[in-house]
Amino acid sequence: MMRETSKNLREIVASGGMARVMAAHDPLSAMLVEEAGFDGIWASGFEFSAAMGLADVSLISMAEHLTNMRNMAARISLPIVADVDTGYGNAINVLHTVEQYEAAGAAAVVIEDKMFPKVTSLVAGGRQDLLPIAEFQGKIEAAVSARKDPDFLIIARVEALIAGRGESEALERARAYEAAGADLILVHSKQKTPDEIESFVRNWDGSVPIVIVPTAYPEMTESRAKALQKIGILIYGNHAIRAAVTGMQQVFARIIKDGGIQNANEDIVPVSEIFRLQRMDQVKENEARFLR
């Protein structure tokens, strides 16, 4: 049985809708994603690596990422799309990965066709080695066979465009992964305009919907993505960690410059807002009720 969520990604996608999924790196950022009104949480490997002060190059273990995701699931009711990178090993490891993430409350996993250890996709000149197609098909088949709830989504991520292998290989891989049982295909691009992705989507002749992460090509607005009519999920890949870094850099610089916190309050939420997020009202109620 999958964790009950306030929204159902499979339903949104099956009804021809486009789910808007925002990245988070910890339970608090996941809570803010939920309050903002998104349809799901992207448990991003990039964001969590960055939050640990690390590069997104397979340094984070499955246990660390899973614990973080489980902590998010405990604080929010949105569905979580778990970024499990390469699946933490081969098809045998994927069997275990999918079982663990479904049990921990994820609604979907995204598994990418890169070799372990992977290198983050958007970095210029990154090493981008891909698995042979048949081997990755085995990993997707393993993922499909490991899930318990048929509503749990297995998303196969095609990195052929990131690796510079061109559209025809990207389409060939996407078709092979659909044939292996993927519910959706995530196709990633680091081109600065939407052209590469729009061309892929126009030429996509499979029947499963596409997932995109338009970080590098921000002109791909939601309305432009919807107009393509094949996008089932749009992921905002790293805006939580970038917003957090922006906020902290600005406030810390101001405190250093001013020699104190006398002006910083104008730029940050009051402590009462943190109390609200921590549910201190609930703590007070519980104190009145239970403490003797």
Which residues participate in catalysis according to the annotation? Answer: 56
Q: Residue 147: phi, psi to the nearest 5?
A: -70, 150
87 binds Mg ion (CB under 5 A): no
Q: For residue 13, how far is the Cα from the chain centroid?
A: 16
Residue 215 binds which entry of Mg ion, ligand SPV, none, CB below 5-8 Å type-dependent: ligand SPV
159 binds Mg ion (CB under 5 A): no
213 binds ligand SPV (CB under 6 A): yes
| C-beta contacts of 239-243 below 8 A and 24+ residues apart | 239/22, 239/23, 240/22, 240/23, 240/24, 240/25, 240/29, 240/32, 240/33, 240/44, 240/47, 241/23, 241/25, 241/29, 241/44, 241/46, 241/47, 241/50, 241/51
CB-closest chain residue to Mg ion: 45
Residue from 27, 40, 45, 194 touching Mg ion (CB under 5 A): that is: 45
45 binds ligand SPV (CB under 6 A): yes
215 binds ligand SPV (CB under 6 A): yes
189 binds ligand SPV (CB under 6 A): no
Residue 141 binds which entry of ligand SPV, Mg ion, none, CB below 5-8 Å type-dependent: none
| Cα dist from 169 to 65, 141, 159, 175, whole Å | 31, 20, 10, 10
113 binds Mg ion (CB under 5 A): no
Residue from 83, 102, 159, 183 touching Mg ion (CB under 5 A): that is: 83
Q: Residue 279: phi, psi to the nearest 5?
A: 60, 50
Residue from 122, 255, 264, 277 touching ligand SPV (CB under 6 A): that is: 122
79 binds ligand SPV (CB under 6 A): no
Per CB under 5 A, residues contacting Mg ion are 45-46, 83
Per CB under 6 A, residues contacting ligand SPV are 23, 44-47, 56, 83, 120-122, 213, 215, 237-238
